[in-house]
Amino acid sequence: MENMTRAQIDKATKHKIADKPQYIRPKEAATLILIDGKPGQYSIVMGRRHMRHKFMPGLFVFPGGRVDKTDGSVPTPDALHPEVENKLLCKMKGRPTSRRARALALAAIRETYEEAGLFVGGKGAFSSKYDDWAAFSENGVTPQLKNLRLVARAITPPGRSRRFDTWFFAAFTSEIGARLPEGTGPSGELEDLHWLSFDAARKLELPSITKTIIDELQTRLDQDPHLSPDSSVPFYYLRGDKFQRDLI
């Protein structure tokens, strides 16, 4: 995706970006890529966005979504790894704070439950005053942050009906504390949830950035199968007429 022009992005996404689009401020969002298997045999969980969505309907994506105001206040027994937090704070728009950093991670965990029915955390008593987290209490799972790894960041280009400043986290399936028996999440936003190899995932109808993140993650796992927290993280955004790839 690096150095793709505006015209190439239009063609790849089947969406023309206006020459002078109305400015929409990107909303903070977070995604969690769950990884199963061992080197050379990894699989990742993905689902298809419901066709009723105005933003990327019918495309396969990872569980994720917008950060809620209350996410940063949810109690956890641990903290983000210092290297992960530093990367989140490094180029965070606005005033960087530890609360905002942990809110991103917790949003990724919450959305993974809501969209995929997977509870990331450890078994144990948990209590929160926020309704969005009641299911964690009911299933005896406490959300945990220390083993989440940051693997990418991307900002939706101008001209879209929705824009997000999305941080992509990853974790191994050993971090899953419980699963809903339905095999999907209560929000109904993702359908056709599957665990897929990287090659199988690439054959799906994907947003360009999702394919790029899949490529980035596979390369990183090949070089760093334990996802060391101090590894560099790619950051994609549109500058002028071309997509840029920086490292955090």
DSSP calls for 153-176: EEEPPTTSSS-EEEEEEEEEGGGE
Helix residue ranges, H only, the chain: 6-13, 82-90, 98-116, 134-138, 198-202, 208-223
Could you give the CA distance from residue 25 to residue 15 in angstroms, rounded to a whole number?
19
Provide the token pair at 198.
């990287």
- Residue 152's alpha-carbon distances to 7, 88, 89, in angstroms, are 24, 10, 14
Q: Which domains does the chain have, with CATH numbers?
A: 6-247 (3.90.79.10)
Q: Which amino acid is at 163?
A: R
The predicted model scores a pTM of 0.89
Q: What is the pLDDT along the chain (248 residues), one digit of tens a residue?
A: 555 555 555 555 445 455 555 678 899 999 999 999 999 899 999 999 865 655 555 799 999 999 999 999 999 999 999 999 999 999 899 999 999 999 999 999 999 999 999 999 999 999 999 999 999 999 999 999 999 999 999 999 887 778 999 999 999 999 999 999 888 899 888 888 999 999 999 999 999 999 999 999 999 999 999 999 999 999 999 988 888 999 99
Q: Which amino acid is at 18?
A: A
Could you give the CA distance from residue 220 to residue 57 in angstroms, rounded to a whole number?
29
